[in-house]
Amino acid sequence: MTDEPHKPAKRPLTLRDVSEASGVSEMTVSRVLRNRGDVSDSTRARVLTAAKELGYVPNKIAGALASQRVNLVAVIIPSLGNMVFPQVLTAISEVLDQTPLQPVVGVTNYLPEREEKVLYEMLSWRPSGVIIAGLEHSDASKAMLRGAGIPVVEIMDTDGTPIDSMVGISHRRAGRMMAEAIMKAGYRKIAFLGTKMPLDHRARKRFEGFTEALAKKGLEIVDQEFYDGGSSLAKGREMTARVLERSPEVDFVYYSNDKIGVGGLLHCLDAGIDVPGRLGLAGFNNISLLDGFSKRLATMDSGREEIGRRAAEIIAARVEAGSDEMAGERIELSPTISRGDTLRARPAGGDYPE
Protein backbone atom coordinates (compact mmCIF):
# COMPACT_ATOMS: atom_id res chain seq x y z
CA MET A 1 0.00 0.00 0.00
CA THR A 2 1.17 3.49 -0.76
CA ASP A 3 2.48 5.77 1.88
CA GLU A 4 1.69 9.01 0.14
CA PRO A 5 0.11 11.77 2.19
CA HIS A 6 -3.66 11.58 2.13
CA LYS A 7 -4.91 13.46 -0.86
CA PRO A 8 -7.83 15.88 -0.86
CA ALA A 9 -10.12 13.05 -1.99
CA LYS A 10 -12.09 14.43 -4.88
CA ARG A 11 -14.21 11.40 -5.64
CA PRO A 12 -15.55 9.75 -2.52
CA LEU A 13 -14.30 6.23 -1.98
CA THR A 14 -16.45 3.26 -2.86
CA LEU A 15 -16.62 -0.35 -1.86
CA ARG A 16 -14.75 -1.09 -5.05
CA ASP A 17 -11.77 0.91 -3.85
CA VAL A 18 -11.62 -1.10 -0.68
CA SER A 19 -12.10 -4.26 -2.68
CA GLU A 20 -9.16 -3.48 -4.90
CA ALA A 21 -6.94 -2.33 -2.08
CA SER A 22 -7.58 -5.51 -0.15
CA GLY A 23 -7.84 -7.97 -3.01
CA VAL A 24 -11.21 -9.18 -1.74
CA SER A 25 -14.46 -9.08 -3.65
CA GLU A 26 -16.83 -6.18 -3.09
CA MET A 27 -19.36 -8.57 -1.71
CA THR A 28 -17.08 -9.86 0.97
CA VAL A 29 -15.94 -6.37 1.86
CA SER A 30 -19.57 -5.46 2.29
CA ARG A 31 -20.07 -8.47 4.56
CA VAL A 32 -17.16 -7.52 6.73
CA LEU A 33 -18.21 -3.92 7.05
CA ARG A 34 -21.71 -4.90 8.08
CA ASN A 35 -20.76 -7.89 10.23
CA ARG A 36 -22.99 -10.14 8.18
CA GLY A 37 -22.42 -13.73 7.33
CA ASP A 38 -19.29 -15.69 8.01
CA VAL A 39 -15.98 -14.32 6.90
CA SER A 40 -12.63 -15.80 7.78
CA ASP A 41 -10.64 -13.86 10.33
CA SER A 42 -7.80 -13.35 7.93
CA THR A 43 -9.86 -11.75 5.16
CA ARG A 44 -11.80 -9.77 7.73
CA ALA A 45 -8.55 -8.33 9.02
CA ARG A 46 -7.31 -7.48 5.56
CA VAL A 47 -10.53 -5.71 4.68
CA LEU A 48 -10.67 -3.78 7.90
CA THR A 49 -7.12 -2.62 7.50
CA ALA A 50 -7.66 -1.50 3.95
CA ALA A 51 -10.87 0.32 4.82
CA LYS A 52 -9.30 2.20 7.69
CA GLU A 53 -6.17 2.93 5.69
CA LEU A 54 -8.21 4.52 2.96
CA GLY A 55 -10.61 6.23 5.33
CA TYR A 56 -13.58 4.62 3.67
CA VAL A 57 -17.02 5.75 4.82
CA PRO A 58 -19.83 3.56 3.46
CA ASN A 59 -22.48 5.19 1.33
CA LYS A 60 -25.74 4.68 3.17
CA ILE A 61 -27.70 6.08 0.31
CA ALA A 62 -26.72 3.22 -1.91
CA GLY A 63 -27.04 0.79 0.96
CA ALA A 64 -30.52 1.95 1.81
CA LEU A 65 -31.65 1.78 -1.77
CA ALA A 66 -30.35 -1.70 -2.23
CA SER A 67 -31.59 -3.09 1.04
CA GLN A 68 -34.86 -1.14 1.14
CA ARG A 69 -34.09 -0.41 4.74
CA VAL A 70 -33.45 2.95 6.37
CA ASN A 71 -32.75 2.99 10.06
CA LEU A 72 -34.06 6.46 10.65
CA VAL A 73 -36.97 7.57 12.78
CA ALA A 74 -38.49 10.92 11.90
CA VAL A 75 -39.23 12.96 15.02
CA ILE A 76 -41.37 15.99 14.32
CA ILE A 77 -41.80 18.61 17.02
CA PRO A 78 -43.04 22.19 17.11
CA SER A 79 -40.00 23.89 18.57
CA LEU A 80 -36.61 23.56 20.15
CA GLY A 81 -36.96 26.77 22.14
CA ASN A 82 -39.38 25.21 24.58
CA MET A 83 -37.16 22.95 26.65
CA VAL A 84 -39.87 20.33 26.83
CA PHE A 85 -39.05 19.12 23.35
CA PRO A 86 -35.31 18.69 23.75
CA GLN A 87 -36.18 16.66 26.82
CA VAL A 88 -38.56 14.43 24.95
CA LEU A 89 -35.90 14.08 22.29
CA THR A 90 -33.31 13.05 24.80
CA ALA A 91 -35.56 10.30 26.08
CA ILE A 92 -36.20 9.12 22.54
CA SER A 93 -32.49 9.06 21.76
CA GLU A 94 -31.70 7.06 24.86
CA VAL A 95 -34.06 4.32 23.79
CA LEU A 96 -33.07 4.32 20.15
CA ASP A 97 -29.39 4.21 21.10
CA GLN A 98 -29.99 0.61 22.13
CA THR A 99 -31.18 -0.18 18.63
CA PRO A 100 -29.90 0.36 15.11
CA LEU A 101 -32.40 3.19 14.75
CA GLN A 102 -31.53 6.87 14.76
CA PRO A 103 -33.75 9.86 15.34
CA VAL A 104 -33.86 12.67 12.80
CA VAL A 105 -35.50 15.85 13.99
CA GLY A 106 -37.80 18.19 12.13
CA VAL A 107 -39.16 21.42 13.59
CA THR A 108 -42.50 22.91 12.59
CA ASN A 109 -42.73 26.15 14.58
CA TYR A 110 -46.35 25.23 15.35
CA LEU A 111 -47.30 25.88 11.71
CA PRO A 112 -49.41 23.25 9.95
CA GLU A 113 -48.05 24.13 6.51
CA ARG A 114 -44.56 23.85 7.84
CA GLU A 115 -45.41 20.52 9.42
CA GLU A 116 -46.69 19.32 6.10
CA LYS A 117 -43.52 20.33 4.35
CA VAL A 118 -41.22 18.88 6.99
CA LEU A 119 -43.16 15.65 7.00
CA TYR A 120 -43.02 15.37 3.23
CA GLU A 121 -39.28 15.94 3.23
CA MET A 122 -38.71 13.39 5.95
CA LEU A 123 -40.95 10.76 4.44
CA SER A 124 -39.13 11.12 1.16
CA TRP A 125 -36.15 9.59 2.94
CA ARG A 126 -38.28 6.57 3.74
CA PRO A 127 -37.74 6.42 7.50
CA SER A 128 -38.65 3.32 9.48
CA GLY A 129 -41.09 5.19 11.69
CA VAL A 130 -42.48 8.57 12.68
CA ILE A 131 -42.90 10.18 16.07
CA ILE A 132 -44.87 13.37 15.78
CA ALA A 133 -46.15 15.83 18.37
CA GLY A 134 -49.86 16.36 18.58
CA LEU A 135 -52.98 14.87 17.08
CA GLU A 136 -53.94 17.81 14.89
CA HIS A 137 -52.54 17.69 11.38
CA SER A 138 -53.63 18.89 7.97
CA ASP A 139 -55.57 16.42 5.85
CA ALA A 140 -52.59 16.11 3.55
CA SER A 141 -50.30 15.33 6.49
CA LYS A 142 -52.67 12.69 7.78
CA ALA A 143 -52.89 11.14 4.34
CA MET A 144 -49.11 11.01 4.11
CA LEU A 145 -48.79 9.42 7.53
CA ARG A 146 -51.38 6.81 6.74
CA GLY A 147 -49.96 6.12 3.33
CA ALA A 148 -46.38 5.77 4.46
CA GLY A 149 -46.97 2.23 5.65
CA ILE A 150 -44.71 2.69 8.67
CA PRO A 151 -45.40 2.91 12.40
CA VAL A 152 -46.58 6.35 13.50
CA VAL A 153 -46.72 7.46 17.12
CA GLU A 154 -48.40 10.74 17.96
CA ILE A 155 -47.15 12.08 21.26
CA MET A 156 -47.88 14.59 24.02
CA ASP A 157 -51.64 14.62 23.65
CA THR A 158 -54.37 12.00 23.94
CA ASP A 159 -57.46 14.14 23.42
CA GLY A 160 -58.41 12.90 19.99
CA THR A 161 -58.08 10.02 17.59
CA PRO A 162 -54.62 8.93 16.57
CA ILE A 163 -53.66 7.82 13.11
CA ASP A 164 -51.95 4.79 14.59
CA SER A 165 -50.46 4.84 18.10
CA MET A 166 -50.40 7.61 20.68
CA VAL A 167 -48.60 8.33 23.94
CA GLY A 168 -49.34 11.36 26.06
CA ILE A 169 -51.57 12.96 28.58
CA SER A 170 -55.04 14.40 28.29
CA HIS A 171 -54.53 18.13 28.39
CA ARG A 172 -58.21 18.65 29.02
CA ARG A 173 -57.90 16.51 32.07
CA ALA A 174 -54.75 18.35 33.09
CA GLY A 175 -56.64 21.65 32.93
CA ARG A 176 -59.52 20.19 34.92
CA MET A 177 -57.21 18.77 37.56
CA MET A 178 -55.51 22.08 38.08
CA ALA A 179 -58.83 23.92 38.29
CA GLU A 180 -60.04 21.48 40.90
CA ALA A 181 -56.87 21.78 42.95
CA ILE A 182 -57.11 25.55 42.84
CA MET A 183 -60.74 25.65 43.88
CA LYS A 184 -60.17 23.10 46.57
CA ALA A 185 -57.44 25.28 48.00
CA GLY A 186 -60.03 28.01 48.39
CA TYR A 187 -59.29 30.36 45.54
CA ARG A 188 -62.30 31.85 43.75
CA LYS A 189 -61.27 34.80 41.59
CA ILE A 190 -59.20 33.10 38.98
CA ALA A 191 -57.41 34.61 35.99
CA PHE A 192 -55.74 32.93 33.03
CA LEU A 193 -52.63 33.99 31.14
CA GLY A 194 -51.38 32.15 28.10
CA THR A 195 -50.36 32.05 24.48
CA LYS A 196 -52.77 32.90 21.72
CA MET A 197 -53.95 29.40 21.12
CA PRO A 198 -55.17 28.90 17.58
CA LEU A 199 -52.15 26.76 16.82
CA ASP A 200 -51.12 25.47 20.23
CA HIS A 201 -53.78 22.83 20.59
CA ARG A 202 -52.50 21.44 23.83
CA ALA A 203 -52.57 24.85 25.52
CA ARG A 204 -56.08 25.32 24.17
CA LYS A 205 -57.26 22.00 25.52
CA ARG A 206 -55.86 22.74 28.94
CA PHE A 207 -57.70 26.03 28.90
CA GLU A 208 -60.92 24.34 27.88
CA GLY A 209 -60.62 21.70 30.56
CA PHE A 210 -59.80 24.38 33.05
CA THR A 211 -62.81 26.61 32.33
CA GLU A 212 -65.07 23.59 32.11
CA ALA A 213 -64.11 22.45 35.60
CA LEU A 214 -64.61 25.96 36.94
CA ALA A 215 -68.01 26.15 35.29
CA LYS A 216 -69.04 22.93 36.95
CA LYS A 217 -68.65 24.71 40.27
CA GLY A 218 -70.34 27.83 39.00
CA LEU A 219 -67.16 29.81 38.53
CA GLU A 220 -65.89 31.76 35.57
CA ILE A 221 -62.51 33.14 34.62
CA VAL A 222 -62.37 36.61 36.11
CA ASP A 223 -59.79 37.96 33.70
CA GLN A 224 -57.55 36.63 30.96
CA GLU A 225 -54.86 37.73 28.58
CA PHE A 226 -53.11 36.12 25.62
CA TYR A 227 -49.79 36.79 24.00
CA ASP A 228 -48.08 36.20 20.70
CA GLY A 229 -44.72 34.61 20.05
CA GLY A 230 -42.38 32.84 22.42
CA SER A 231 -42.63 32.76 26.17
CA SER A 232 -40.38 34.82 28.38
CA LEU A 233 -40.14 35.85 31.98
CA ALA A 234 -40.59 39.46 30.94
CA LYS A 235 -43.91 38.75 29.28
CA GLY A 236 -45.17 36.88 32.31
CA ARG A 237 -44.16 39.78 34.48
CA GLU A 238 -45.83 42.47 32.44
CA MET A 239 -49.02 40.56 31.83
CA THR A 240 -49.36 39.69 35.48
CA ALA A 241 -48.88 43.30 36.46
CA ARG A 242 -51.55 44.40 34.00
CA VAL A 243 -54.06 41.80 35.11
CA LEU A 244 -53.63 42.60 38.78
CA GLU A 245 -54.07 46.27 38.09
CA ARG A 246 -57.11 45.74 35.93
CA SER A 247 -58.71 43.14 38.19
CA PRO A 248 -57.45 43.63 41.74
CA GLU A 249 -59.89 41.05 43.05
CA VAL A 250 -58.00 38.23 41.32
CA ASP A 251 -56.69 35.72 43.86
CA PHE A 252 -55.16 33.13 41.50
CA VAL A 253 -53.41 33.19 38.14
CA TYR A 254 -53.13 30.07 36.00
CA TYR A 255 -50.46 30.29 33.31
CA SER A 256 -50.21 28.17 30.19
CA ASN A 257 -46.57 27.42 30.93
CA ASP A 258 -43.92 27.70 33.59
CA LYS A 259 -41.83 30.34 31.92
CA ILE A 260 -44.45 33.06 32.03
CA GLY A 261 -45.57 31.66 35.37
CA VAL A 262 -42.16 32.26 36.86
CA GLY A 263 -42.21 35.72 35.30
CA GLY A 264 -45.45 36.34 37.15
CA LEU A 265 -43.93 35.04 40.35
CA LEU A 266 -41.02 37.44 39.96
CA HIS A 267 -43.42 40.31 39.60
CA CYS A 268 -45.21 39.30 42.77
CA LEU A 269 -41.99 38.99 44.74
CA ASP A 270 -40.85 42.42 43.58
CA ALA A 271 -44.24 43.99 44.21
CA GLY A 272 -44.34 42.49 47.68
CA ILE A 273 -47.48 40.52 46.99
CA ASP A 274 -48.10 37.71 49.46
CA VAL A 275 -47.86 34.43 47.54
CA PRO A 276 -49.73 32.16 48.01
CA GLY A 277 -51.74 33.98 50.69
CA ARG A 278 -53.06 36.94 48.77
CA LEU A 279 -52.43 35.42 45.36
CA GLY A 280 -51.83 31.88 44.16
CA LEU A 281 -49.98 30.95 40.96
CA ALA A 282 -49.61 27.86 38.82
CA GLY A 283 -47.95 27.01 35.53
CA PHE A 284 -47.54 23.93 33.42
CA ASN A 285 -44.78 21.55 32.48
CA ASN A 286 -42.56 21.30 35.49
CA ILE A 287 -39.67 22.87 33.66
CA SER A 288 -36.52 22.73 35.72
CA LEU A 289 -36.18 26.46 35.28
CA LEU A 290 -37.47 26.54 38.79
CA ASP A 291 -35.23 24.46 40.88
CA GLY A 292 -33.03 27.23 42.19
CA PHE A 293 -35.73 29.64 43.18
CA SER A 294 -36.62 30.46 46.73
CA LYS A 295 -40.25 29.90 45.81
CA ARG A 296 -41.18 27.03 43.59
CA LEU A 297 -44.06 27.63 41.23
CA ALA A 298 -46.95 25.19 41.39
CA THR A 299 -46.99 23.25 38.17
CA MET A 300 -47.87 19.98 36.53
CA ASP A 301 -45.59 17.35 35.17
CA SER A 302 -46.61 16.14 31.74
CA GLY A 303 -44.39 13.06 31.91
CA ARG A 304 -42.44 14.07 28.84
CA GLU A 305 -39.55 11.82 29.73
CA GLU A 306 -41.82 8.80 29.82
CA ILE A 307 -43.65 9.94 26.72
CA GLY A 308 -40.44 10.02 24.73
CA ARG A 309 -39.31 6.70 26.07
CA ARG A 310 -42.53 4.83 25.42
CA ALA A 311 -42.98 6.30 21.98
CA ALA A 312 -39.49 5.19 21.00
CA GLU A 313 -40.13 1.76 22.48
CA ILE A 314 -43.23 1.32 20.38
CA ILE A 315 -41.37 2.25 17.22
CA ALA A 316 -38.40 0.06 18.08
CA ALA A 317 -40.58 -2.94 18.87
CA ARG A 318 -42.58 -2.63 15.70
CA VAL A 319 -39.62 -2.09 13.45
CA GLU A 320 -37.72 -4.94 14.99
CA ALA A 321 -40.55 -7.41 15.00
CA GLY A 322 -41.89 -6.33 11.67
CA SER A 323 -45.10 -7.29 13.39
CA ASP A 324 -48.01 -4.95 13.82
CA GLU A 325 -48.73 -6.24 17.26
CA MET A 326 -48.35 -2.90 18.97
CA ALA A 327 -50.10 -1.05 16.16
CA GLY A 328 -52.80 1.25 17.44
CA GLU A 329 -51.37 1.24 20.97
CA ARG A 330 -52.88 4.08 23.01
CA ILE A 331 -51.14 5.13 26.17
CA GLU A 332 -52.54 7.84 28.39
CA LEU A 333 -50.24 8.88 31.21
CA SER A 334 -51.40 10.70 34.30
CA PRO A 335 -50.12 14.21 34.81
CA THR A 336 -49.08 14.99 38.37
CA ILE A 337 -49.52 18.26 40.17
CA SER A 338 -46.74 19.67 42.27
CA ARG A 339 -48.01 22.41 44.52
CA GLY A 340 -44.66 24.07 45.04
CA ASP A 341 -44.91 27.18 47.18
CA THR A 342 -47.56 29.03 45.23
CA LEU A 343 -50.63 26.85 45.63
CA ARG A 344 -51.60 26.22 49.25
CA ALA A 345 -54.86 25.67 51.02
CA ARG A 346 -56.01 29.03 52.27
CA PRO A 347 -57.19 29.42 55.84
CA ALA A 348 -60.78 29.66 54.66
CA GLY A 349 -60.29 27.18 51.87
CA GLY A 350 -60.65 23.46 51.44
CA ASP A 351 -64.33 23.59 52.19
CA TYR A 352 -65.75 23.94 48.77
CA PRO A 353 -69.48 23.15 48.80
CA GLU A 354 -70.16 19.98 46.87
Partner DNA sequence: CTGAAAGCGCTAACAC
Partner DNA sequence: GTGTTAGCGCTTTCAG
Helices and strands (DSSP H and E) totals, the chain = 12, 12
Applying CB under 7 A, which part among 39-47, 75-83, 157-165, 185-193 lies near DNA? 39-47
Applying CB under 8 A, which part among 38-46, 120-128, 306-314, 342-350 lies near a second copy? 120-128
- Rounded to whole angstroms, the Cα distance separating 296 from 342 reads 7
- Rounded to whole angstroms, the Cα distance separating 296 from 282 reads 10
Strand, coil or helix: 91: helix
Min CB(258)–a second copy separation in Å: 12
Instruction: Give the residue, chosen from 293, 332, 344, 346, that forms a contact with a second copy under the rule CB under 8 A.
Output: 293
Q: Looking only at residues 227 through 266 of this chain, which bind a second copy when binding is defined by CB under 8 A?
A: 232-237, 262-263, 266
- Rounded to whole angstroms, the Cα distance separating 59 from 30 reads 11
- Residue 274 neighbours by CB under 8 Å, 6+ apart: none
**Dihedral over Cα of 232, 235, 237, 243: its sign:** negative
Q: What is the DSSP letter of 134?
A: -
215 binds, among DNA, a second copy, none (CB under 5 to 8 A by kind): none
**Dihedral-angle region of residue 350 (phi above 0 means left; psi in -120 to 50 means alpha; beta otherwise):** left
Q: Looking only at residues 65 through 104 of this chain, which bind DNA when binding is defined by CB under 7 A?
A: 65-69
Residue 62 within binding range of a second copy, rule CB under 8 A: yes
Nearer to DNA, 25 or 247 (CB): 25
Instruction: Give the residue, chosen from 2, 40, 161, 294, that forms a contact with DNA under the rule CB under 7 A.
Output: 40
80 binds, among a second copy, DNA, none (CB under 5 to 8 A by kind): a second copy
Q: Interface residues with DNA (CB under 7 A)?
A: 11-12, 14-16, 24-28, 30-31, 33-34, 36-40, 42-44, 58-59, 62-63, 65-69
